[in-house]
Amino acid sequence: IRTAQTLTGFVSFMGRASAERMVAEMEGKTYRGCDLRVGWGKAVKLPAKPIWPIDTDDFPDRPAVGVPGTMPSTQGGYREEVEVQYPVNARVMYVIDRLAKYVVDNGKLFEEKVLEKERGNEEFNFLFDYKSPNHRYYKWRVFSLTNGDTLEAWATETFVMNDARWIPPNPKRRPVYTGKESDASKEPTDPDSLKPGDREDFEELLQTLTLERSDIQEGMMFALEHADSAKEVANILTDALTLSDTPVTMKVARLFLMSDILHNCGAPVKNASAYRIEFQQKLPRVFESLEKTLKDVDSRITREAFKKRVAAVLTAWGDWFLFGEEFLKGLELTFLRGEAAK
C-alpha cells in the first residue's frame, strides 16, 4: 500500500487459484485512497482450516464479529472494557457455542443464512441484540475459535477487539449443558414440500455440480436453508446419485455433497438433524449404485481413484460418529462386492 509512506501487508490463501485471482483483480486498484501494488511473497505454513473474513457490509448497524482491532481511543485508553459472561440459560450457551463453531468452519455465508432464517426465533435473539451479554459472548466465541481455541479450552489473556478491551470467561466456571444436545434420535416432523422454484434450483444445481468446494458448499447451504423439507431434499439428492450412466466425477461430487450435509446436520438450524435419519435409510441403495458404477469403470487408474474417494467418505463418517461401525462396514462391503468377485 502506497500513501505518504509505504506500508506493507501480507495475506495468505488456502489455495493458489484464489491467490492468483486476488493478484489479478487487485493490482493497481485504489482502496480508501491508497494505490495497491500486489506481488508474491514467501510461502507460509497454512492453518488447519481457513480464517474467514467476516465483515458487516450487509448489516450496517451490526458490530463486526471476530475481527481484532488494536487502535486505542482518543482518550488514550479503550472505549470500554468487556468482561465476557456465560449465558444464564445453558441451552442458549450450547446454541451459541455450536453456531460459533459452524461460522468459523463455514464462513460468513453460513452466518448470513442463519440470520435470515432465524429472525424472530427467541433462541437466536443474541444475534440481533448487539448490546446484550449473549451477543458479546457469541462475538468472543467466534474470535476465540478463529484463533485456534476449542469449546472446552481457550486463552484467558485479555485482548483488544473493536476498540474495546475484552476479558475472556474462566474456563473452570463454564456451565454444563445437561439437556439432549441433538434431536437426531427423534423422528423428524412431517417436512414441508419444496416450492416448485426451489426444487428446480436444486435439481439444476445437482446437474451442474462439480468437485469445487464452492459448488459443494452452495449445495450444503441450500440443504440447511430448506431443512424443513429434509425428506424431499434427501430424496432428490438420492435419486440424482443413483442415476445410471452418470459420470464417475459427477457421482463423487454428489456423494461429497451428501457427506457435507451429513457433516453439518448438527448445525443449530431447525430440523437439520433430520438429514441423518433420511440419508441413513437411503444409503444402502446409494452404495448399490456406487458398486454398479465401479463395476462399469474400465480404467484401472479411474477405478482406484474412485475407490479411494468413497473410502475416504466412509472413514470420515466413522470419525464423525454419524453411523454405527457395522452399518458403515456393510456399506463398504456392498461397494466392493464386485471387486471381491473378480
Cell numbers found for residue 42: 514467501
High-pLDDT (> 70) share of the chain, %: 81
> What DSSP element (H or E) covers 161?
strand 159-161
Q: Which tops the pLDDT comparison, 91 or 168?
A: 168
Overall average pLDDT of the 72-78 stretch: 46
- Find the range with the poorest average confidence among 55-59, 125-129, 143-147, 176-180: 55-59
- Candidates 142, 166, 146; CA nearest to 65 is 142
Which DSSP symbol is given to 170?
P
Output the pLDDT for position 146: 84
pLDDT digits over 235-251, tens only? 999 999 999 888 999 99
| In the block, residue with C-alpha cell 487487485 | 26
CA–CA separation, 194 vs 204, rounded Å? 14
CA–CA separation, 147 vs 160, rounded Å? 13
Output the pLDDT for position 71: 38
CA–CA separation, 342 vs 339, rounded Å? 5
> What DSSP element (H or E) covers 93?
helix 90-106
Is 4's pLDDT higher than 60?
no
Residue type for 146, please?
T
Is 67's pLDDT higher than 60?
no
Output the pLDDT for position 132: 92
Output the pLDDT for position 332: 94
Is 106's pLDDT higher than 70?
yes
Q: With 0.75 as the threshold, say if the pTM is over it.
A: no
